[in-house]
Structures are given as structure tokens and as C-alpha cells.
Chains A and B, each alone.
Chain A
Amino acid sequence: MDEQNLEIEYPERLVVASSPHIRHKDTTAYLMLQVILALTPALIFGIVLAFTVGWRYGLNALILTVVCMAGSVFFEWLYEKITRRPVTVRDLSALLTGMLLAMNLPITLHPFYALLGSAFAIIVAKQLFGGLGRNFVNPALAARIFLVISFVSAMSGDAYPMLDGTAGATPLVLIKTGQIAELSLMKMFVGVCPGTLGEVSAMLLLLGGLYLIFARVISWHIPVAYIGTVALITYIFPQTGGYFDLRFMAASILSGGLMLGAFFMATDYVTSPTAPRARLVYGVLCGLLTVFIRYFCGAPEGVSYSILICNLLVYYLDRFLRPRRFGQKRGKKA
């Protein structure tokens, strides 16, 4: 017990710092890690599913994932080294971007495109705007759209193989061409149908998303408003004609990466609003645009486009829908 009795000197000077003197334990890296963990089951499912289609597909899916994640981290490190900025790969946000990018790619894509995509995501969409927190579009989505526009054939059409190895139409295409009767909602929910690497299992994405909400990593506003809007419109005005089609609604919210988009892409902190009301409006806008694009344009990337477009509105949403200040009269702006 000698140590305990050692006299400890009073320091000459103490540190004078501004209050508060304590902080919450959550850090940026911790939050990013939670999102990565929440996405992992759906990603693993996607890779396993690819293996059941054929080992070449499975292997490719695995390579895509590794290339995207490693590539994103590498490009972030490289850019920050070259520009002599502090290296921020430890905040895990680049890793998450890579993961999201991988999940937005078709499993048949050549890994070279994936590398290109991660370079675009990190360098063009993120770092050129000033790095984490300053970019205003979601880097993974921007990279996906970049690939879709630049390499049309590699990114669409028969890029989505069926379980029997032949090229197949994604559920969204089936819906579009009126073949909704061919769809098995259960299969879509569990995820045994073609789609990008990460969007196939609506169920696992939903579970991951709910985990994030309950762990208070994301707030409920955006996903609820987004999915709710899509559900409402597709229920009342189904594309199949007539009104009130529950089956069409279910097929719509389970397909086209809506779960992935609503829970994981639209809620990306940096590129979504922070005021609660702004979040709701943002979610509704994303939903409206998604349905609009699906109904009137052919693009299967409706979710990606909608979120990117809404990303551009974030600043205005936050500004005009900022909370009413405590003590300020209702309806009056400062």
C-alpha cells in the first residue's frame, strides 16, 4: 500500500478550458462502425446468394466488396497524404462509403470499374469538396451514378443473373413490364431474387435499419417518411391501373433498393438535413421523386437519383425548416 501513501504534488498550473468538461462517449468512428455492422448481414447475404448462382459470381461479388472498401480507404489516405492534410481514414467513413458502393453494384461488374467507382466517390465526390462533412452529395451514390452513366452495359440489363445462372429481370423490371404476377413477395422480402449486391434482402436491410434507429444512430424521420410516401402513392395509384393495390405497394417497397436507400443512403449524416421537420420533408421528397422516376422514366436507379437530387436541397430544407426557437412566438421567424 506504499504507493497509496505517496504524496502527490499539487500542480503549479491547471488546464483552463472552456466548459463543458465532459463529453458523450460516442465518436464519429463509433457511429460509422454501427452503420457498417448494421449493413454486414445484408452484404454477406448478397455474397452468399451470388455463390449459389455460380461460384464465379460469388467470387466476383467478394472481390468487388474488397476492392470497393479497400479502394475507398486507400484513395482517402492517398489524397490526404498528397495534399498534406491529416489522415482521417480512422473515422471509418471511407470504409463505409466503400461498403455502400459495393452494395450498389451488380455482381457481374468487372472489379476494375469498382476501383474506378471508389476513386470517384472518395476523390471527386468527397475530398474535392473538403472531405468528411463538407461534401454535399452522397459519395457512394454519386459513384454509382457515375458508373451507370459512363458504362451503361456493364451496369445494367443482363448484369443481374438469376438463380439458374441466366440473366434475369430484376423485380423492378418485372413490375415495369406488367409482370408483377410473376413476383413472389416472400422471395423479395427474404431476398432470393436478382438485384445489386446489397439490395437483395429487404428483410436484412430492414432489420439493420431498425437496429440503427433503436441504437439512436439514425433518427426515424427520414426512413419512415421516405418508405411511407412510396407506400402511400403506390398503394393508392398503382402503376398496374386502378386504385388501391396492396400487392403492388408491397412489391414496390421491397424492390429497387428502397430499403437500402431509405435506411442507409438517404440517412447519410453529411448529406441529409439535421432539423427534424427538414428530415421529414426530405424523406417525403425522396419518396415522391422515387415513385416519379419509376413511373415516368425507365431508370432502375430511381432511388439513387432521388436521393442525389434531394441531397442538393439539404441546405435549404435545414434553413427554412429550422426549429422554432424556444420562447419565440409560433409562426414568426427570427
Chain B
Amino acid sequence: MAKTFRGGVHVEEHKNTERMRTVRMPAPHTVSIPLSQHIGAPVQPLVAVGDRVLRGQCIGDLAEGLCAPVHSSVSGTVKAIEMKPSARGIPVQHIVIENDGEDELCPSIAPKERSLAETAPEQIVKIVRDAGVAGMGGATFPTHAKIASAIGRVNTIIVNGAECEPYITANHRLMQEHPEAVVGGARVLMHALGLSKAILAVEDNKPSVIQIFKGLTWDMDDISVAALKTKYPQGDERQLIYALTGKELPVGKLPADVGCVIFNAETVSSIYRAFNTDQPVIERIVTVDGDCVRTPQNLSVPIGTSYRDVIEFCGGLVKTPRRLISGGPMMGAAQWDVDGVVTKGTSAILLFSEEQSYSYEHGSCIHCGRCVKGCPMHLMPNYIAAYARRRDYESAELYGAKGCVECGSCSYVCPAHVPIVQYVRVAKTALAAKQKE
């Protein structure tokens, strides 16, 4: 029996690219690398305009504070250091590098022949930090900090390969094509955390991956493979922990508080690569899909490549796009234009035309209860939205406003097309502001 949680919705999957091999995209003419691709403080540039940089060279770091260093994804010349809006609309410094086509790799990136048993946990934290790994499922929390804070506090490592967002198959392809990197990364993490238990969690819409993992781990008692029921938002950390351990993680608490730590599958494979070769995160797998793209596919994209270059590589447009979403259609962020860039957290680029884009048109709630049934946090989104609309945030909280994880399930199922999540966000923001006072 596949494991799961209570609530949630069945979303049309549109996993159109799940059978296509990941294609390596050649580095474009220029890349523009943001100095903040993670949660925490933006890093400072370590290079100046005119400098020559190598592929994999560290170009941004910070001596103190929570951050993940940034590396060049090409070899070439620094053309500019400029402010541009990030995928979430916040101004961030970008280092613009012109690719010289030499593809010259930084000499520090080479097979290291490290022995896991002889590597101290602190050293693993340092290796992961130097590789600039940040949560690649989209949360982009600096991974070394997560490892460091989990040491001694957790008993279960969960590798998140659920990938419950529609369209996205980037993790699916990674796990299928490089399962040894995921299992190997899990081993590195187990050693760093001193644990003898890791779970590889995959939704049961990826039976081939489950089979490969089972084959790879059949003789390991300490790494298990868990099949999860395909249901949105199965990949959310709370739902994942509940499905696997039966523990409910309250709002405002971290997974470590219930003894768990969760890493995205691609993050885990990046840790593996960093451990073996010191290779930093300079490319990532991105699902490119949507009805405007000529050839939807999974690409291994150099960090800092613009959406425009990615789309061109996929054969350009077949329809005029109305929306470009960075990430999945349920929680991803709609972008202003095609000039934004791929970062460590970009799991997908989706281009939807007018027909596929859909706006919520403020219909009247008919009280059907679908949002209540679908809310994975067991809130009552219909009442939260109704009270938020009337600016009665106290009452909105009675029905759970602060517990919302903004998964979008409620808006998705609403037959009256009430923009529920937007209302809930308004209530949340207002309540948080009040608490601060």
C-alpha cells in the first residue's frame, strides 16, 4: 500500500516529459548569475568587471552569515555586475559573464578519492558549503546549514523524490538516470549525521524509479524505498513526514523538531558530486514544458542561462505565451518577462498560452466544501477567504489562516473560481503584521 496523508487533491499530471532523456544544454553566449539564489544573505562578488573566470570558479561568497556561495557556470570574462529583479521580484546583484567557448574547468574540480569513513562530519558540511548547494526543490535553503543544524537532532533522513507538482519531471529523470548519485548522496548524509536510516520517498506514478531504487538498495538494511500515493501536495515536507512516520509537524516547527530532515533528490545528488569531485552547483535539471514550447523536454541547464536562451534551445515558441512560470503550476512564480535566469531553485520553466492560463475571477463561494476536503492542513479555506474579504482577520484565524502553507489545493478545486489562496495570503500577512506590533 502506498503511503499518504489525509486531504490533498488529485491534479491532472501532465508529466509529458517523463520518458525523455535529459539533454545537456550547451552554455549560452552570456550567463547572468544572481548573487542570491538561496534563503539568507546575498553573497558579495569575488570578481571584478574584466576578470577572466573559469567554469566552476567561486565568484561570490560571504565570510559570515547564512548563505550559499555562487560559482561561474562558464569560462569567460566578467562583463558587468548589475542589479536585476529575481524570480520572486526582489532586486538582486547579477554577475554577467561572457562565455569564451573554451569551457575551461576550474582545476580544483577533480576526482578526490575521499574515504567516507575517514571524513569528519564538519568536513562534509564544509565541502557542501563550498559547493554552494542550496535546496534544489525550490526552497533554496543553504544545505550545509541544514546538515549542521540537524547533527545530533534527527533520526531519519528523507530523500524527497515525490515530485508532486504537475508537469515537472526533472527529479524523475535525475533519479532514473543517476540513481547511484542519489543513493550515494544519501550515504554521505547518513555519515555526516551519524544515522543508520534513510528513506527514499517516491510517488507511485514513477514505478520505474521505485524499481531502480529497490534494485540498488536490495542489500542495504539502512536505506529503504517508500512508494507514496500520487496526490498533491505529497512532496510538501509536512505531508511527507506524516506519510512516512505518522508524525504531524505543527506549523512554525521544523522537521528536525520531530526528528526528521528532508533533502530534495537533486540536492542529494549534488552533495554526492561535491563529495566526490568538489564540483559546485553550476547546472541543474529543468523541465521545459507548456503549450507554447516547440519541444518540451528536460534540460541540464547552466545556472544563469536566461529563460529566452532555454526556450530558443527548445526550438522556440509555437504560440504566444501569456504566462511564464518558474517552478510548478501549483506553487511556482509567474515571471514578468523572458529575461529572467535559471537559478539553483528553478525546477521548471512553463510557458502557458492564453488558453492555458487561467485567472481566478472572484466568483461567489457556493459552499461546496471541496476546498475543506482538499486542504492538506485541515483548515477551512472557504471561511478564511470569506473573512479575509471582509477584513475580519481574527475570524479568519479561527478557521486556520496562520496554518496555511500556500499549496494552492483550495483554489485549484474551487468550482466557483474564488481566488482562495490570495485571500488567505492577505489574512496571513495581516495577522503576521499584527503579531509584530
Contacts and interface: CB of A to CB of B under 8 A. Distances in A.
Interface of A: 4, 7-24, 26-28, 30-31, 93, 131-134, 219, 269-276, 279, 318-319, 322-328, 334
A20 B316 CA distance: 25
A4 B318 CA distance: 7
Interface in B323-338: 323-325, 329-338
B329 A20 contact: yes
B280 interface: no
B55 to A, nearest CB: 28
Contacts, number: 183
B435 interface: no
B112 interface: no
Nearest to A27: B415
Contact of A15 (B357, B373, B411, B419): B357
Nearest to A5: B316
Contact of B400 (A14, A133, A334): A334
A19 B332 contact: yes
A322 B381 CA distance: 11
A28 B366 contact: yes
Contacts of B419: 18
A182 B311 CA distance: 77
B400 A19 contact: no
A275 B368 CA distance: 10
Interface stretch (B174-182, B244-252, B265-273): B244-252
* Interface residues of B, dominant DSSP: loop
A239 to B, nearest CB: 35
Nearest to B419: A18
Nearest to A14: B324
A327 B249 contact: yes
Given A7-B316, A271-B367, 5 more contacts: A14-B336, A17-B323, A270-B367, A322-B399, A323-B379
Contacts of A4: 318
B434 interface: no
Query: In the complex, which range does the number of interface residues on chain B fall in?
Result: 35 or more
Contacts of B357: 15, 17, 21
B334 A19 contact: yes
Given A270-B366, A322-B380, A27 B166 contact: no
Contacts of A270: 366-367
A23 B336 contact: no
Contact of B378 (A14, A20, A27, A326): A326
A189 B317 CA distance: 61
A133 B364 contact: yes
B330 A20 contact: yes
Given A28-B415, A325-B379, A19 B368 contact: no
Contact of A11 (B320, B352, B412, B416): B320
Contacts of B7: 326
B331 A19 contact: yes
A261 B366 CA distance: 19
B368 A274 contact: yes
- Most chain A CB atoms below 10 A, which of B318, B363, B369: B369
Contact of B380 (A8, A21, A23, A275): A275
A11 B323 contact: no
- Most chain A CB atoms below 10 A, which of B338, B382, B416: B416
30 contacts: A10-B317, A10-B338, A15-B334, A16-B335, A18-B421, A19-B329, A20-B329, A20-B412, A21-B330, A21-B332, A21-B334, A21-B350, A22-B11, A22-B166, A22-B329, A22-B330, A26-B415, A27-B416, A28-B415, A133-B366, A133-B367, A133-B416, A269-B367, A274-B367, A274-B368, A322-B399, A325-B251, A325-B403, A326-B250, A326-B251
A13 B337 contact: yes
Contacts of B308: 10
B321 A14 contact: yes
Nearest to A279: B369
Contact of A31 (B329, B400, B415): B415
B185 interface: no
B330 A24 contact: no
Nearest to B425: A18
A30 to B, nearest CB: 7
Given A17-B323, A23-B412, A334 B317 contact: no
B359 interface: yes
Given A4-B318, A31-B415, A326 B238 contact: yes
